[in-house]
Amino acid sequence: EAKSPSPTVKNSVALKDGDKHATGYSETLVKATKEQIMAYMLDTPARCRWSDSDVERNILETKNDHHFVAYQFKKGSHCARLKLLPREGVSAGLWRQETNGSFVYVSVPTEHHLKQNVPAKRIRAKMPTAFSIEEISPGVCRVAYVNQLDLGGIFPAWVMNKIMISNLTLTYKVQLY
């Protein structure tokens, strides 16, 4: 179990044998339709999805209604004698509706011609993610979210794994929205 911002959110972290990056899992119930939840989750550039560290969030390319390439750029950190360069990520996201009516989304790190990596200015982070939204009763859905974080550059895995846990708050943010 990992710390959760709410008693209604269940978070856990696991480390697979041979993998230095932990995988985070978060699950909760949300009082909304699956379409409302999916709209929130897919609206990458929406201001309600921003955190204090975000500098830029946008969609680089829309392949079709179910497939897009997203970009996120976060501030660097200058605390505790650490001076970390800003981080950016480019991910290809794809979603579909399953035969049981639930929605599934998968996002994998990728490269894109509109955002070439310039390591002297920004470090390219990688964060594969997945989530599912399943309606369990009218207007109530189970949201499950999985992610893994590689901040890139020279960064201890244990620090990345601690930061990854903070990404699990997405399910809680969905509840609040």
Could you tell me which of 71, 129, 47, 72 has the C-alpha nearest to residue 95?
A: 129
| pLDDT at site 80 | 59
Which tokens hold the place of 97? 């509706």
Q: How far is CA 44 from CA 40, 80, 95, 163, 170, in A?
A: 8, 31, 14, 20, 12
The pLDDT tens digits along the chain (177 residues) read: 677 778 889 988 888 888 888 899 999 999 999 999 999 999 988 888 888 888 999 999 999 999 999 999 988 875 556 677 888 999 999 999 999 999 999 999 998 887 777 767 788 889 999 999 999 999 999 999 999 988 887 777 777 777 777 778 888 888 887
Q: Cβ distance 44 to 70 under 8 Å?
A: yes
